[in-house]
């Protein structure tokens, strides 16, 4: 019996389709078995030769990535600030470690009794914090407010972590920042110091910020940074720009490097970085989207320092007489948001820092 040519073609095509589908299914199962494990999951039990020969891309060469938020304290005021921010991070449900860098002489009960007692109080009340004593790094240049800011560079020595997000303690955490740890790999990533740059300035000439740094701890890099900091006597921002200006990955400054002083400005083009100049500044919207705000309102003292009503009124944001409440913001939004940062700080200080008070030590 002979089949028609049409039936022969149909039968042949059907066989090819069945073969291709079977082959694809087999390949899919093999690939799924080989690559289904997450990059951030322990794959020891499911490894193949490919996985066993694979070297992690992290500079710390850790099989399982570990991340941490890092703050430093060089006096009791800054210790209070770290407690405020670590508490806020916990409240936002972060999933990574929190490391507190503090002066190593604070572990000397005889010569630093107040600081020693404060450290012990922190250990008891915040047992989840990782406490790391280091030597204070100082510079004699410039204003005394920033003399000990070089101490932040000890974050480079935390080599038990794959990546750390170190930020200055004169900041206020506004939201969970866990997602920054998953940014593209880079030895160090920082936002630009947008307030010091012009929008038309070339990338090569723009100044990097240092009040928040996403970095990969590394012993050799740590030695290099410390050597530069000590030998130059420069400030932390100057050190970062000298060593990493040509290699640092740039993090968007918007939402991460917000300054309280931005709410006192009437020109927000540097912060918005909007080439079209058609975006309207909305103080409430910026705060709702921001992750961190840095207290920077010179000549107003930092929020833990005494201030007079005259100082407060002289620097608070201006509220235009014709300003009105809108659907997406209150009247005098800049003033409301700006004052809110200081009120939040004062409230948290009262709730969190009582354990550091003299009468409790």
pLDDT tens digit string along 235-258? 889 999 999 999 999 999 999 999
121 or 358, greater pLDDT: 121
34 is a domain residue: no
**Predicted pLDDT at 135:** 86
Residue 91 lies in a domain: yes
Q: What is each CA distance from 323 to 165, 210, 272, 329, 335, in whole angstroms?
A: 39, 36, 21, 11, 12
Cβ-based neighbours of 211, under 8 Å, separated by 6 or more: 167, 168, 171, 257, 294
Q: Is residue 284 part of a domain?
A: yes
Q: Is residue 150 part of a domain?
A: yes
Structural domain includes residue 13: no
> Does any domain span residue 56?
no
Distance CA 61, CA 193 (A): 31
pLDDT category of residue 80 using cuts at 50, 70 and 90: very high
Residue bearing the bigger pLDDT, 31 or 139: 139
Domain holding 220, by residue range, is 67-360
Residue 161 is encoded by which pair of tokens? 């972590």
Residue pair 295/172 in contact by the 8 Å Cβ criterion: yes
pLDDT confidence of 14, banded at 50, 70, 90?
Answer: low
- On the question of pLDDT at 23 being above 90, the answer is no
> pLDDT digits over 313-351, tens only?
999 999 988 888 888 889 999 999 999 999 999 999 999
The enclosing domain of 156 has a CATH number of 3.90.550.10
Q: What is the mean pLDDT of the chain?
A: 83
pTM to 2 decimals? 0.80
pLDDT in tens, 156-203: 999 999 999 999 999 999 999 999 999 999 999 999 999 998 777 777
pLDDT value for 35: 32
The per-residue pLDDT for 290 is: 98
Q: How many domains does the chain have?
A: 1
Question: What is the spatial distance between Cα 63 and Cα 42, in angstroms, rounded to a whole number?
Answer: 8
Lowest mean per-residue pLDDT among 62-66, 78-82, 258-262, 302-306:
62-66
Residue pLDDT, tens place only, 28-67: 444 333 333 333 333 333 333 443 454 445 555 567 899 9
Contact residues for 147 (Cβ-Cβ < 8 A; gap 6+): 138, 139, 140
Closest CA to 151 of 216, 225, 221: 225
In a domain, residue 146? The reply is yes
In a domain, 52, yes or no: no
Percent of the chain with pLDDT over 90: 66
Identify the pLDDT of residue 155.
96
């Amino acid at each position: 019996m002979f089949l028609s040519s049409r039936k022969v073609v149909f039968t042949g095509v059907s066989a090819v389709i069945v073969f291709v589908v079977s082959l694809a299914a087999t390949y899919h199962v093999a690939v799924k078995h080989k690559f289904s494990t997450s990059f951030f999951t322990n794959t020891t039990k499911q490894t193949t030769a490919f996985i066993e020969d694979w070297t992690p891309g992290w500079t710390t060469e850790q099989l399982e990535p570990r991340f941490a938020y890092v703050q430093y304290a060089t006096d009791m005021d800054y210790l209070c600030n770290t407690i405020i921010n670590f508490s806020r991070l916990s409240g936002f449900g972060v999933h990574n470690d929190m490391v507190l860098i503090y002066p190593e002489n604070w572990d000397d009960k005889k010569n630093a009794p107040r600081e020693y007692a404060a450290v012990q109080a922190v250990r008891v009340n915040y047992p989840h914090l990782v406490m790391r004593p280091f030597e204070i790094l100082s510079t004699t240049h410039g204003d005394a407010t920033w003399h000990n800011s070089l101490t932040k560079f000890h974050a480079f020595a935390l080599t038990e972590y794959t990546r750390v997000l170190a930020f200055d303690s004169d900041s206020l955490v506004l939201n969970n920042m866990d997602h920054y740890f998953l940014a593209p790999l880079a030895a160090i990533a920082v936002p630009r110091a947008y307030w010091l740059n012009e929008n038309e300035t070339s990338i090569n000439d723009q100044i990097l910020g240092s009040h928040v740094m996403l970095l990969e701890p590394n012993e050799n890099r740590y030695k290099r940074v410390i050597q530069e900091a000590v030998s130059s006597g420069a400030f932390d921002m100057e050190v970062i720009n000298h060593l990493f200006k040509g290699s640092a990955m740039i993090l968007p400054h918007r939402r991460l490097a917000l300054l309280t002083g931005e709410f006192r400005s009437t020109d927000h083009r540097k912060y918005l970085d909007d080439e079209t100049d058609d975006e309207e500044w909305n103080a409430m919207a910026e705060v709702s989207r921001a992750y961190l705000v840095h207290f920077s309102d010179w000549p107003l003292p930092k929020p833990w320092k005494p201030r007079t009503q005259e100082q407060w009124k002289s620097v608070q944001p201006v509220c235009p007489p014709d300003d009105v409440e809108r659907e997406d913001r209150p009247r005098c939004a800049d003033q409301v948001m700006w004052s809110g940062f200081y009120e939040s700080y004062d409230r948290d200080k009262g709730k969190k820092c009582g354990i550091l008070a003299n009468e409790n030590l």
